[in-house]
């Protein structure tokens, strides 16, 4: 069994109290590792280290920061296989998907290596000739970052890379369910030669860690990827010390499929994306609003693709979908499906636990139609391998139903009609819209939501804004 350590002030260490948390392999139910359970002294040490680290790191010039970030990308690439194997063991996703996730982390660091050299201020003509006005862009300060279990390393990289590019230090709390791959990635990043305390990583109880970090006046920015419930709690904590906050809080992505598409091809592509990472993806396509002329064909093709997904241990060759991340997640997904069926929804595929696969948290890829408005799954993010397919008659109906949740993260539209595409992309309330594409997540453009899906953005040049503050310098001249 592995025994992981935390990084505090340049030193890898256990908790001072000796406390640990246990890490489960969701495919087998076996405890495969322990990680430190940070106590108050550990957290205070991490905060103090981040203050010292920020002081040292912000003094490093942008070109050198860029070089360190690019070296960190290479160090992650060098350790690609080992990081991916830990990710599959603790999170459950197939190894091919885990390797792809490592690659996205490399992309993040390479993109922000360039952005580190593009932090521009400006000069402004003063209202009189005897002043000079300069606007500087400076790092906001030490950052506390909180990441979830569905993409344990990619979502950490999305926070670490722009923070370091901006000149900030960071205290990272990896997901307690699957921290090992993230800690291994942090080791790779640290080996690129950042000053001690620039990067810190602490593990343990989420409530205790968030309360201590967010409550500290030394921490100047919070970045969270998580649930609306957790986001609400952290916003309240952050309000007490007036912190800069960015949050991505999930979604319930609609997919509008119009009658002019290649129906079978679109259905197969949609199913492949839907069941990636067992549907545990915040931008996962979930509510399929299909033109009534083709809804039957689409449903048949989608359900057929769902039945063909090979479910099993992500370490086994040929596995297309691994387990859900925990027993709790399995119970929650099953409860949402049972509620929908009890209220009159029709089960077209799946809808059952796969207990014959062993002690892991396996669930069959599921397709529902005729889900009534009162069913919880219509408005609650299912975060699992379940798709809802419903007919629509008009663009107005499609847009209205697409917008009928509190979420607004990602949305998708499939059509060859440019006017239909324009109306859907403009009418749907979402931070990202994919037109004839599910690839809305990219390092080069903002990943953001509206409504309950979040505040601020990750990715793209926009992500840098949250890690920088603007300072106006007015100089009088004689």
**Model confidence at 292, in pLDDT bands (50, 70, 90)?**
very high
Residue by residue, DSSP assigns 106-175 as HHHHHHHHHHTT----EEEE-SSTTEEEEEEEEE---EEEE--SSSTTHHHHHHHHHHHHHT--EEEE--
CATH superfamily, with its number, for domain 253-406+410-442: Aldehyde Dehydrogenase; Chain A, domain 2 (3.40.309.10)
* Domain segments of the chain as ranges: 2-250+453-475, 253-406+410-442
With bands split at pLDDT 50, 70 and 90, how would you rate the model's confidence at 460?
A: very high
Residue 67 binned pLDDT confidence (cut-offs 50, 70, 90):
very high
At residue 129 the predicted structure's pLDDT band, cuts being 50, 70 and 90, is confident
Please identify every residue annotated as catalytic: 248, 282
Question: From CA 171, how far away is CA 190, in angstroms rounded?
Answer: 13
Confidence of residue 325 (pLDDT cuts 50, 70, 90): very high
Token pair in block for residue 144: 């506390």
H/E element, 183: helix 180-190
pLDDT tens for each residue of 335-392: 999 999 999 999 999 999 999 999 999 999 999 999 998 999 999 999 999 999 999 9
Q: Smallest Cα–Cα separation from 313: which of 89, 152, 98, 83?
A: 89
Closest by Cα among 399, 414, 413, 406 to 450? 406
Q: How far apart are CA 300 and CA 154, in angstroms?
A: 34
pLDDT, mean over the chain: 97
| Full DSSP string of 20-69 | EEEEE-TTT--EEEEEE---HHHHHHHHHHHHHHHHHHTTS-HHHHHHHH
Q: 126: pLDDT confidence band, cut at 50, 70 and 90?
A: confident
**C-alpha–C-alpha distance, residues 198 and 54, integer Å:** 6
Q: Which residues contact 292 (CB under 8 A, 6 or more apart)?
A: 391, 392, 393
pLDDT of 272 > 80? The answer is yes
- Residue 342: count other Cβ atoms within 10 Å of its Cβ: 9
pLDDT in tens, 200-226: 999 999 999 999 999 999 999 999 999
Q: What CATH code would you report for 2-250+453-475?
A: 3.40.605.10
pLDDT band at 478 (very low <50, low <70, confident <90, very high): confident
Per-residue model confidence (pLDDT) at position 188: 98
Residue 207: exposure state from Cβ atoms within 10 A (0-12, 13-18, ≥19): exposed
């Amino acid at each position: 069994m592995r025994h992981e350590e935390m990084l505090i002030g340049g030193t890898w260490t256990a908790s001072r109290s000796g406390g640990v948390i246990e890490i489960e392999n969701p495919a087998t139910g076996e405890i495969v590792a322990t990680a430190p359970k940070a106590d108050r002294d550990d957290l205070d040490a991490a905060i103090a280290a981040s203050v010292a680290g920020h002081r040292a790191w912000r003094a490093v010039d942008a070109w050198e920061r860029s070089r360190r970030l690019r070296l960190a990308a290479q160090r992650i690439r060098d350790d690609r296989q080992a990081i991916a194997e830990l990710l599959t063991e603790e999170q459950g996703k197939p190894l091919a998907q885990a390797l792809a996730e490592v690659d996205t982390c490399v992309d993040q660091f390479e993109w922000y290596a360039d952005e580190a050299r593009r932090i521009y201020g400006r000069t402004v003509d003063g209202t009189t000739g005897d002043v000079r006005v300069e606007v500087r862009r400076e790092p906001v300060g030490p950052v506390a970052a909180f990441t979830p279990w569905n993409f344990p390393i990619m979502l950490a990289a999305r926070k670490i890379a722009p923070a370091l590019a901006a000149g900030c230090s960071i205290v990272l709390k990896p997901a307690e369910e699957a921290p090992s791959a993230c800690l291994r990635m942090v080791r790779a990043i640290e080996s690129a030669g950042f000053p001690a305390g620039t990067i810190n990583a602490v593990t343990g109880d989420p409530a205790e860690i968030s309360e201590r970090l967010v409550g500290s006046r030394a921490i100047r920015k919070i970045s969270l990827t998580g649930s609306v419930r957790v986001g609400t709690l952290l916003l309240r904590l952050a309000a007490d010390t007036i912190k800069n906050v960015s949050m991505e809080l999930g979604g319930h992505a609609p997919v509008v499929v119009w009658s002019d598409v290649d129906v079978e091809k679109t259905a197969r592509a949609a199913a492949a994306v839907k069941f990636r990472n067992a549907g545990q993806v915040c931008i996962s396509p979930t509510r399929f609003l299909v033109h009534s002329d083709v809804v039957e064909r689409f449903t048949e093709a989608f359900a057929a693709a769902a039945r063909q997904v090979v479910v099993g241990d992500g370490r086994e060759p040929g596995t297309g979908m691994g387990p859900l991340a925990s027993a709790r997640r399995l119970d929650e997904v099953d409860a949402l499906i049972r509620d929908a069926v009890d209220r009159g929804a029709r089960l077209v595929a799946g809808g059952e636990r796969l207990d014959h696969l062993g002690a892991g948290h396996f669930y069959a890829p599921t397709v529902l139609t005729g889900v009534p408005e009162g069913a919880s799954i219509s408005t609650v993010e299912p975060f699992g391998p379940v798709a809802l397919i419903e007919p629509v008659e008009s663009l107005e109906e499609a847009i209205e139903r697409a917008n009928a949740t509190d979420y607004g993260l990602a949305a998708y539209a499939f059509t060859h009609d440019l006017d239909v595409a324009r109306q859907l992309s403009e009418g749907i309330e979402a931070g990202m819209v994919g037109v004839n594409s599910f690839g809305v997540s990219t390092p080069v453009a903002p990943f953001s939501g509206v409504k309950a899906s979040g505040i601020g953005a990750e990715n793209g040049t926009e992500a840098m804004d949250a890690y920088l503050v603007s300072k106006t310098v007015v100089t009088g001249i004689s």
